[in-house]
């Protein structure tokens, strides 16, 4: 077994690897940027080395600095986690050339599967079914447009070097192809330094099914069953589960066997995931599942596989990297119960899921579930890295029980002042269609109105806030006579200030109220609301987010401005596109109205909190 391990990553996955390595008696070494010096993973490692400033290219992506840290600390091996350098064949070779053990896929396999077009050609040769499309070298816009027309719309434009949902655009009609191609290439170039694309037939009613595979240096390959990752937003996974709902034995055998065949085709060693797209319009069927790509690393969603198999996949990685055979044979692996994972992000669903940054003055999770988190209360979400706060993982005997447990867990999350998608996740997990297993990759779009909260508090929130104010002032009722009258009826209405606006509601208890740094907060259904007794000079409904001002939620660059001052806009219409954290985000109109003010300029860098657009309501 390896005696020491340097983790070339940060945050949640670094903590995850450290946890298993310590249990196995392996000395752990963390590398970190300046801004991450106080992060939990740095403290939890046996040793830590600062490798540069916040910018990833000057720290976590600097191969020379990481190798120098490994040499200076006497590390025997390097684990890349996921993201950053985890699928960089050149880095894997450099690690091996330095005499270190690479805890990852063989460089040849990374190269073979790293480019989507080449990987598909290889899978065709291996007899693995692939989605119809265009994989050609001619990257001219005219040729790509012609291929899209030939395949038939809708089509999917995908970055050849893409991953993580980046560099991917759906195009529904020929006239929209050019704009989709330009946007896809721009994002691909920014994220991967490669703007080449391929074209695929877009499957209507698609399910995203992936299979966890594992190989060892003795030539053995097994699968650890499938996961369903169909709940996505902008091609990024939101909720994952294992096993896949509606998967019968014959279909499971077909897809898992194809995954093993794919891994064997590249002499795979270590943890990997074979991703498939399924046409589930008539349920899951063996003849309607096609290979999409292979991720030659551990996946973010690996905990759901661990939950249903009882295996520690990081332990498997360390044992295989040490030259040991796989810990289990295929016939020793079985599915037990149902697992689900929700990705808790620092983002604000009410303004297009734009990232939210700042201090974590309050950060509390349910105690009865598995939580893999890279941050802690008192820490901070910075603009430099992925905005994921934690993964909430549940396991139960049945899918229905797992969904209920996940919804309850997401609803119990308490985070402030950073905004999160916890309420959105709770609503998704409790949605009747989700509970019934009626899911595909369009689920979130179809249910957006029910899932995405409004900027203003719901009647339930206002009623709970009112109840809290009455309760808090019950010791001396003469101090707070809002709506007070003698012999009051049970439906007494109370005024309460929430987020700066005054609302009136009947009292109904609910939620959890705490004081954080002098601010009274109501946590309810995964959302946080600052509450107070109303100011004397504030009228009900005044102020708040509803004034139509759209602010830059974090530092970024204005990619495009799609309206002009005086334009009439509809609720949900895209107004400005902002690039932040290497992703494009759209700011949309909160209601029907007119563009009253416009400060956004294409190409400009903007600071957090800058007012970019103001919409005045119709009428």
Sign of the torsion formed by the C-alpha atoms of 458, 461, 466 and 467: positive
Residues 6+ apart with CB under 8 A from 524: 460, 461, 464, 510, 511, 512
Rounded CA separation 474/468 (Å): 10
Rounded CA separation 181/171 (Å): 9
CB 371 within 8 A of CB 607: no
288 is catalytic: no
Query: SS3 string of 75-142?
Result: CCEEECCCCCCCCCHHHHHHHHHCCCEECCCCHHHHHHHHCHHHHHHHHHHHCCCECCEECCCCCCHH
Strands 380-381 and 133-134: unpaired
Strands 583-588 and 527-532: unpaired
List 297, 319, 362, 419, catalytic entry: 297
Residue 262: closest CA among 214, 331, 230: 214
Assess whether the previous peptide bond of 100 is cis (omega < 30° from 0): no
Residues 6+ apart with CB under 8 A from 179: none
CB 106 within 8 A of CB 269: yes
Across-strand partners of 579?
Answer: 557, 584
Rounded to 5 degrees, φ, ψ at 565 are: -60, 135
CB 102 within 8 A of CB 236: no
The kind and range of the H/E element at 189 are helix 177-192
Assess whether the previous peptide bond of 464 is cis (omega < 30° from 0): no
Query: SS3 string of 277-327?
Result: EEECECECCHHHEEEEEEECCCCCCHHHHHHHHCCCHHHHHHHHHCCCCCC
Q: DSSP letter at 331?
A: G
Rounded CA separation 270/355 (Å): 33
Rounded CA separation 583/493 (Å): 45
Per the listing, tokens 């009136």 go with 504
Strands 289-295 and 354-355: unpaired
Residue 265: closest CA among 116, 392, 113, 160: 113
Assess whether the previous peptide bond of 243 is cis (omega < 30° from 0): yes
Does residue 470 sit in helix, strand or coil? helix
Structure tokens at 237: 């996974």
Residue 526: closest CA among 427, 404, 387: 427
Per the listing, tokens 């109220």 go with 513
Per the listing, tokens 């096609």 go with 290
Residue 540: closest CA among 454, 416, 417, 457: 457
Residues assigned a catalytic role: 297
């Amino acid at each position: 077994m390896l005696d020491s391990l340097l983790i070339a990553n940060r945050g949640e996955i670094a903590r995850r690897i450290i946890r298993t390595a310590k249990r196995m008696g392996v000395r752990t070494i963390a590398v970190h940027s300046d801004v991450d010096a106080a992060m939990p993973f740095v403290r939890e490692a046996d040793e830590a080395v600062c490798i540069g400033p916040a910018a990833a290219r000057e720290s976590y992506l600097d191969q020379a600095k990481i190798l120098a840290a490994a040499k200076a600390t006497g590390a025997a091996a390097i684990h890349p986690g996921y993201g950053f350098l985890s699928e960089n064949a050149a880095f894997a070779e450099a690690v091996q050339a330095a005499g270190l053990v690479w805890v990852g896929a063989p460089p040849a396999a990374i190269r073979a599967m790293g480019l989507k077009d080449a990987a598909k050609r290889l899978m065709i040769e291996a007899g693995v079914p692939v989605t119809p499309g265009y994989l050609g070298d001619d990257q001219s816009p005219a040729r790509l447009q012609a291929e899209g027309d030939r395949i038939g719309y809708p089509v999917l434009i995908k970055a050849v070097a893409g991953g993580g949902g980046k560099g991917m655009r759906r195009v529904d009609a020929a006239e929209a192809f050019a704009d989709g191609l330009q946007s896809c290439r721009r994002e691909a170039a920014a994220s991967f330094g490669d703007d080449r694309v391929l074209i695929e037939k877009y499957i209507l009613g698609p399910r995203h099914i992936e299979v966890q595979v594992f190989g060892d240096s003795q030539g053995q390959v097994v699968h650890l069953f499938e996961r369903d990752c169909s709940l996505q937003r902008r091609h990024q996974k939101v909720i994952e589960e294992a096993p896949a709902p509606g998967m019968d034995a014959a279909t499971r055998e077909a897809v898992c066997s194809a995954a093993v065949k794919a891994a064997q085709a590249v002499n795979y060693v270590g943890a990997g995931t074979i991703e498939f797209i399924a046409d589930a319009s008539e349920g899951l069927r063996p003849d309607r599942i096609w290979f999409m790509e292979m991720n030659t690393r551990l996946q973010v969603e690996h905990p759901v596989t661990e939950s249903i198999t009882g295996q520690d996949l990081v332990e498997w990685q360390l044992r295989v990297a040490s030259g040991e055979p796989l810990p289990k044979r295929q016939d020793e692996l079985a599915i037990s119960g149902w697992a689900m994972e929700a990705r808790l992000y620092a983002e604000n669903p009410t303004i297009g899921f734009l990232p939210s940054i700042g201090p974590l003055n309050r950060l509390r999770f349910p105690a009865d579930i598995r939580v893999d988190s890279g941050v802690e209360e008192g820490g901070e979400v910075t603009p430099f890295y992925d905005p994921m706060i934690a993964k909430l993982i549940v396991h139960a005997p049945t899918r229905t029980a797992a969904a209920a447990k996940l919804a309850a867990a997401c609803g119990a999350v308490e985070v402030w002042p950073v905004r999160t998608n916890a309420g959105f996740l709770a609503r998704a997990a409790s949605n009747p269609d989700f509970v019934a297993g009626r899911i595909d990759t369009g689920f979130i779009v179809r249910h957006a109105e029910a899932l995405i909260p409004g900027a203003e508090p719901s009647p339930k929130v206002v009623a709970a806030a009112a109840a809290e104010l009455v309760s808090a002032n019950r010791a001396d009722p003469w101090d707070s006579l809002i709506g007070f009258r003698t012999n009051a009826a049970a439906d007494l209405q109370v005024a309460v200030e929430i987020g700066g606006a005054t609302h009136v509601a009947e009292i109904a208890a609910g939620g959890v109220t705490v004081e954080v740094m002098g601010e009274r907060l109501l946590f309810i259904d995964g959302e946080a609301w600052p509450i107070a007794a109303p100011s004397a000079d504030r009228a009900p409904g005044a102020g708040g987010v509803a004034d139509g001002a759209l602010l830059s939620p974090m530092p970024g660059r204005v990619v495009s401005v799609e309206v002009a001052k005086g334009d009439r806009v509809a609720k949900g219409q895209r107004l400005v596109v902002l690039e932040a954290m290497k992703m494009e985000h759209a700011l949309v109109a909160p209601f029907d109205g007119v563009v009253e003010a416009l400060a956004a300029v294409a190409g400009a860098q903007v600071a957090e909190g800058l007012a970019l657009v103001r919409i005045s309501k119709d009428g």
